[in-house]
Amino acid sequence: MGAQEIWNSVGPGLAGAVFGTAWWFWVDAVVCSAITVPFLHYLPGIAASLAALMFNCVKKEELVEYSPFDDGEGCRSRTWLFLAYVISFVSLAGSVGMLIEDALVEGRPSTWTGVAGVLQCTFVLASGLVFWTSRSANEF
């Protein structure tokens, strides 16, 4: 059994564990918060989860061949992947913005809520990348 086969068998479980850890951080921060966490604070984690789902919808073999004049499957896949990465980085930037707001503004959720939001987005996106890299080329 080669390294790629081991990664293909271990990777999805590892991705699920990292994804669960990400949401555990967020649930812990919401439950331990002294005040009600506004729904706006939930959006970066939801967007990161959506982005992870989006870039796992792209097949690896669609990205192998590239022609700059291709208007077919490869171009659509690259555009979809680009959009997924834009959403993922915006969600990460949003969570960092929430962290700064929580740390500086009085009457907002605790700084731990902001830190948990950043950890959640980072771990969700990492789990999506782990799952995408551990999929074999003939899946989906």
- Domain range summary for the chain, segments of one domain joined by +: 3-134
Output the six-digit token pair for 22.
């990400």
Dist CA 80 CA 54 (whole Å):
8
Give the phi and the psi of residue 69 in degrees, each rounded to 5: -105, 10
Output the six-digit token pair for 44.
């970066």
Per-residue confidence band for 108, with pLDDT thresholds at 50, 70 and 90? confident
pLDDT-above-90 percentage for the chain? 54
Output the six-digit token pair for 120.
């959640």
Q: Is pLDDT of 79 > 70? A: yes
Q: Is pLDDT of 136 > 80? A: no
C-alpha pair distances (Å), 130 with each of 3, 21, 67, 111: 15, 14, 27, 28
Per-residue confidence band for 119, with pLDDT thresholds at 50, 70 and 90? very high
Confirm if 7 and 133 have CB atoms less than 8 A apart.
Answer: yes
Give the pLDDT mean for 41-56. 93
Q: Is pLDDT of 93 > 70? A: yes
Q: Is pLDDT of 70 > 70? A: no
